[in-house]
Chains A and B, each alone.
Chain A
Amino acid sequence: MKKQNQRAWLFVTPVLLLVAFNALIPMMTVVNYSVQETFGDNLFFWQGIDWFEQVLTSDRFHRALGRQFLFTFLILIIEVPLGVAIALAMPRQGFWVPFCLVTMALPMLIPWNVVGAMWNIFTLPDIGLLGYFMNHTLGIPYDMTQNPFAAWVTIIIMDVWHWTSLVVLLAYAGLVSIPNAYYQAAEIDGASGWAVFRFIQLPKMKTVLTIAILLRFMDSFNIYTEPFVLTGGGPGNSTTLLSIDLVKIALGQFDLGPAAAMSLIYFAITLLASWLFYTLMTMNDNKS
């Protein structure tokens, strides 16, 4: 065994303490609830892993989880290519650069509940700009409070509108860091536009794109506020994503035990998926 310098732990300790107090210790409360039943008055009964079994075998959880994966999958396959395409189309220098950057950043600066409220009003069939236009000008029936498909289209478009910029800005940062000589060399080598993208731009964007995908995965998998304000999970349960369902169980039905168990399962899935993503995407770098 090689002897290692253990002093590095000292430098990590402050962060560990911070994370312990704002995340790990509070989460222990959740762990506490997840294995017990309570009827209030601080009276607890040991329940073992019953809540976990109940959540994992419940149809309701499966459907919410399915919707969650569908949502995340859809926004990722739209936002990532779209973001890269917009970044490629943006000017690299000149007068329009700050204009484009600020315009891109604007949606991200809007608070999440405001985004939900904006889109809610925007899509109202009788007075919303989009809703009125669809129903009365184009004659296409569009009411996301009635039609699950319309509701899904709306939350997807809302998320694309809100968060594609993140991918754009990260991809753009990757693009502008490519020295001009690469493009010049490719031109001299007779490379096609596609080859330039495939062999120069994409490899140079890879690191930032990994981060972008990871961030978008985590954020979209945990999304709550915007769809809650926009659809409230409806119509029916059609847009009830995991987080919305969790809040319904925890604060609506006040089933603290199952809600705690569900939280932990939810957390584990997010953690596992993020880890898988990251490992898969960086695997190639370690190959020689």
Chain B
Amino acid sequence: MAQIKLSNLRHSYRPDPAADDDYALKKIDLTWEDGGAYALLGPSGCGKSTLLNIISGLLVPSEGSILFDDTDVTALPPARRNIAQVFQFPVIYDTMTVYDNLAFPLRNRGRDEAIVKQRVTAIAEMLEVAGMLSTRASNLSPDNKQKISMGRGLVREDVNVVMFDEPLTVIDPHLKWKLRSKLKELHQRVRATMIYVTHDQTEALTFADQVVVMQDGEVVQIGTPVELFERPAHTFVGHFIGSPGMNVLPCEVRDGAAFFGGDNVALEGPADSAGGGRAEVGIRPEFVSVSASGSGIAAHVRKVADIGRHKVVEAVAHDSRIHAILEGEAPNPGEAVMLDFKRSQTRLYKDGWLASRPEGAVR
């Protein structure tokens, strides 16, 4: 058990990286608190797996260091870091029984057979595989195989961190939910630091207390699921989280007020005066209301999608597409409507980064 600190981490797969683009990880400074449930969220190719492999020791970073508590482990091989990792596809030792699979990491470390038995039984109990301990692992279904992979990670009582690299990829949808809640439950029981890598926002938001969002080798935002949803630090986070994602509309800023195609858009509070760059207004579809007449921005409805619990309205105003999520009645396609943005949820972004703050907030 330890706090994990990544400091000035950079990694490139090229031998002689020069430009920033040569780096798979550009510059990472990050602290994972002991016992936390983290999700590492980002699109494919953003550097999540690279980061994970650096923490586990499968990769040595080009620059920077990794500290477990205050010990520098940058140069240590995986076996000596006392970490566990679960991969995208279940890794099981085909010729061994389930019991031997779970015992493998302990036996390799020369643990006493009595302790092995006690740990394996306890973990099998937790994962609900106790009944299959004597079956050959190759005969298991994919979800049970993945459980065994997880079990091998959890069987050592003192792991610093358990990392999951998109572990539910090969699992049937109806079992995904089960395994996900199992993981959450396991985290509460074993209290080990867990890092869960995924590109699926639902997985990230349900598993983690803290979500780290990455894009292009950089950490864009770290926060609770609610923070990521309500105050995305970057338009990328706004797009990536939420379904549909945040509406991001081009705007002009004059005297601290934002104008979208000439219409004044009331922001949550004062805009940061510093910095120029491309200005945009961000508003979640959940906070856009639609009325036939009244105040707001004139738009016409293009599409309405009924997705069960609510309807998603796609409207166009000033050549920009705006989504609104409505409960109950929705206008018909082709109708002219007025869109109203909830003021406390309307943010300003400059060059992609959040540039407004709530009324009264001290900067």
Q: Please name the residue on chain B nearest to A187 by beta carbon.
A: B78
Interface magnitude class on chain B: 20 to 34
> Is A110 among interface residues, defined by CB-CB distance under 8 A?
no
Is the beta-carbon distance between A191 and B91 smaller than 8 angstroms?
no
Shortest A207–chain B CB gap in Å is 11
- Verify if B93 is at the interface (C-beta below 8 Å from A): yes
**A288-B95 in contact (CB<8A):** no
Taken together as a complex, chains A and B put the C-alpha atoms of A271 and B9 apart, in Å, by 63
Q: How far is the CA of A134 from the CA of B91 in the complex (A)?
A: 52
Cα of A184 to Cα of B56 in the assembled complex, Å = 10
Q: Answer whether residue A279 sits at the interface, using C-beta atoms and an 8 A cutoff.
A: no
Q: Which of A187, A191, A195 contacts B58 (CB 8 A)?
A: A187
Q: Give 22 CB contacts A-B under 8 Å.
A: A179-B89, A179-B91, A181-B87, A181-B88, A184-B85, A185-B87, A185-B91, A185-B149, A187-B58, A187-B78, A189-B105, A189-B152, A190-B79, A190-B105, A190-B109, A191-B108, A195-B108, A200-B93, A203-B93, A204-B94, A288-B136, A288-B139
Q: Complex: how many Å from CA A89 to CA B131?
A: 40
Number of interface residues of A (CB under 8 A): 18
Q: Which of A158-203 contact B (CB under 8 A)?
A: 179, 181-182, 184-185, 187-192, 195, 199-200, 203
Q: How far is the CA of A141 from the CA of B296 in the complex (A)?
A: 105
Please indicate the chain B residues that have their CB under 8 angstroms from the CB of A188 in the complex.
56, 58, 78-79, 83-85, 105
Are A182 and B135 neighbours in the complex by a CB distance under 8 Å? no
Residues of chain B touching chain A, judged by Cβ–Cβ distance below 8 Å, are: 53, 56, 58, 77-79, 83-85, 87-89, 91, 93-96, 104-105, 108-109, 135-136, 139, 149, 152
Cα–Cα, bound, A234→B225 (Å): 83
Contacts of A204 in B (CB 8 A): 94
List chain B residues, Cβ under 8 A from A288: 135-136, 139
List A contacts of B85 (CB < 8 A): 184-185, 188
Seen from chain A, the residues whose Cβ lies within 8 Å of a Cβ on chain B are: 179, 181-182, 184-185, 187-192, 195, 199-200, 203-204, 287-288
Cα A51 to Cα B134 in complex, Å, equals 55
- Can you list the 4 inter-chain pairs with the closest CB atoms, starting with the nearest? A190-B108, A185-B91, A181-B87, A190-B79
How far apart are the CA atoms of A26 and B128 in the complex, in Å?
62
List A contacts of B77 (CB < 8 A): 187
| Chain B residues whose CB sits within 8 angstroms of the CB of A181 once the complex forms | 87-89, 91
Query: What's the Cα separation between A122 and B10 when bound, in Å?
Result: 58
- CB-based nearest B residue for A199: B93
Contacts A181-B89, A185-B87 known; list 13 others, CB within 8 Å: A184-B85, A185-B85, A185-B149, A185-B152, A187-B58, A187-B78, A188-B58, A188-B78, A188-B83, A188-B105, A190-B109, A199-B104, A288-B136
Residue in B79, B93, B96 whose CB lies within 8 Å of A187: B79
Other-chain contact of B108, A179, A192, A203 (Cβ < 8 Å): A192
- The CA of A5 and the CA of B241, in the complex, are separated in Å by 53
CB-CB < 8 A to B104: which residues of A? 189, 191, 199
